[in-house]
């Protein structure tokens, strides 16, 4: 047994990410494939819309995962994962330096500090080499984590030019460097392939030994709640259809699949969009608290729809 297997890691997402699935993990856990629940083992875990990775970390903490593959189209997010995987010690060191400096300032100066870093972060993007891992990635991950921990609501929002445009949050003592968790995240990422790109890149890694969890951007509940833009491209109904086709194809490979999305019936009981796309699969609805709506009055109990290609 390796130390990893003897000793639970208990890592949690290192970024607060829109659409994080923390409040649904216990529901998801109950309906994992029986084989996984029985053996406490996952041979090959694939998550094509990883975001903050709430499900990945939960499974990593509670099951033995031999190999994982994580994908997301957001290049800043993937950069953060890769830096923790490759250079977590330097990242922690630099985050401590930035944190000490920031926390020593007055509230007024912190504000200037935040906007200066935000502007430096956006400037750096122009000729940044996202394709080849290098030392600059560490500085960029430091900015990413700093902005995520000190920005309003911990949102990661980009405008049409991919610039990070979240205003400063109001935290007295933000946890800019959660050293213990970064170390645990690094350990969780052993034997994990991390890729930036479209979910379809997962295809060649999915086989009958895989368990795949899909958590695509929510389909907007109505025309005004168009929060689908984690990346500037957004995720349209055309993408939802593309995903449903991909899901069928992966089901034919014999992989175990679980997918979650907002239930279109929350808004319109006659909206069968998702039910039709996944016709023939095992469809379940569970109550979920929606946390992302900016309008507090619309943050009530809503159903999440869960689609599996297995019964047990
Ligand atoms: C609902 S979030 C996932 C949240 C995640 N489950 C968590 O707990 O934080 C959806 C993610 O899909 C990513 N995404 C959007 N379009 C994508 C695409 N075409 N391929 C892969 N990832 C995509 C977004 O960047 C976002 O991180």
pLDDT digits (tens, 9 = 90+) for 191-237: 999 999 999 999 999 999 999 999 999 887 655 444 444 444 579 99
The Cα–Cα gap between 70 and 195 comes to 6
Domain shared by 226 and 269, yes or no = yes
For residues 233 and 281, state if they share a domain: yes
pTM: 0.91
**How crowded is residue 178: how many other Cβ atoms within 10 Å of its Cβ?**
16
For ligand 1, atom 23, name the residue with the nearest CA: 73
Q: What separation in Å is there between the alpha carbon of 235 and the centre of ligand 1?
A: 9
Looking at residue 153, what is its pLDDT? 86
CA distance 19 to 104: 33
Express each pLDDT in 231-261 by its tens digit.
445 799 999 999 999 999 999 999 999 999 9
pLDDT of residue 220: 72
Tokens of 127: 């000729």
Give nearest CA residue, ligand 1 atom 18. Answer: 198
Mean pLDDT, the chain, whole residue set: 90
Write out the residue range of the structural domain in which residue 124 sits. Answer: 76-180
Mark whether 201 and 289 lie in a shared domain. yes
Q: Which atom of ligand 1 is least distant from the CA of 235?
A: 16
CATH number at residue 114: 1.10.1020.10
Structural domain ending residue among the three candidates 154, 180, 206 = 180
Q: Best mutation site among 61, 72, 212 for ligand 1, i.e. most ligand atoms within 8 A of its Cβ?
A: 72
Q: Is the dihedral of CA 283, 216, 181, 99 positive or negative?
A: negative
Whether the CA torsion 141, 159, 219, 155 is positive or negative: it is positive
Contact indicator for 156, 164 with CB cutoff of 8 Å: yes
Nearest CA to ligand 1 atom 8: 20
Asked if residue 281 belongs to a domain, the reply is yes
Is 113 found in the same domain as 58?
no
Closest CA to 156 of 57, 300, 19: 19
246 within a domain of the structure (yes/no): yes
C-alpha to C-alpha distance for 145 and 141, rounded to whole angstroms = 6
Query: Do both 100 and 68 map to the same domain?
Result: no
Is residue 284 located within the same domain as residue 273? yes
Enumerate residue ranges in the chain where pLDDT < 50.
1-6, 224-232
Q: Residue 236: which CATH number?
A: 3.40.50.150
Domain count, the chain: 2
Q: Are residues 83 and 141 in the same domain?
A: yes
Domain ends where: 153, 180, 207? Answer: 180
Three-state secondary structure call for residue 102: helix
Q: Is residue 103 part of a domain?
A: yes
Domain match, 165 and 222 both: no
Q: How many residues does the chain have?
A: 312
Return the H-helix or E-strand segment holding 303: strand 301-308
- Tell whether 192 is covered by a domain: no
Q: Has residue 288 been placed in a domain?
A: yes
Is the CB–ligand 1 distance for residue 80 below 6 Å? no
Distances in whole angstroms, Cα of residue 68 to Cα of each of 16, 26, 164, 290: 21, 21, 29, 28
- Judge if 102 and 61 occupy the same domain: no
């Amino acid at each position: 047994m390796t130390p990893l297997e003897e000793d639970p890691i208990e890592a949690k997402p290192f970024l607060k990410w829109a659409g994080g699935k923390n409040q649904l993990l216990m529901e998801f856990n109950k309906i994992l494939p029986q084989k996984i629940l029985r053996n406490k083992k996952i041979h090959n875990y694939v998550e094509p819309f990883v975001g903050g990775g709430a499900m990945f970390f939960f499974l990593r903490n509670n099951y033995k995962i031999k190999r994982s593959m994580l994908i997301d189209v957001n290049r800043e997010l993937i950069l953060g994962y890769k830096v923790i995987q490759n250079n977590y010690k330097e990242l922690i060191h630099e985050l401590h330096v930035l944190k000490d400096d920031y926390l020593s300032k007055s509230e007024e100066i912190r504000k200037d500090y935040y906007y200066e870093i935000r502007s430096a972060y956006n400037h750096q993007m122009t000729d940044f080499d996202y394709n080849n891992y290098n030392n600059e990635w560490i500085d960029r991950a430091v900015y990413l984590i700093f902005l995520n921990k000190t920005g309003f609501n911990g949102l990661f929002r980009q405008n049409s030019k991919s610039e990070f445009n979240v205003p400063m949050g109001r935290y007295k003592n933000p946890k800019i460097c959660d050293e213990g968790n970064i170390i645990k995240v690094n350990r969780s990422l052993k034997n994990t392939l991390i890729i930036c790109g479209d979910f379809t890149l997962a295809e060649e890694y999915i086989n009958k030994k895989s368990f795949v969890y899909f958590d695509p951007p929510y389909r907007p509940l109505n025309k005004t709640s168009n929060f689908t833009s984690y990346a500037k491209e957004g995720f349209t109904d055309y993408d939802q259809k593309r995903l449903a086709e991909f899901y069928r194809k992966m089901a034919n490979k014999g992989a175990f699949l679980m997918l979650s999305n907002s239930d279109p019936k929350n808004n319109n009981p006659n909206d069968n969009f998702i039910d039709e796309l996944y016709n023939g699969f095992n469809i379940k609805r569970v109550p979920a608290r929606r946390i992302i709506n900016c309008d507090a009055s619309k943050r009530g109990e809503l159903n999440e729809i869960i689609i599996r290609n297995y019964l047990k």
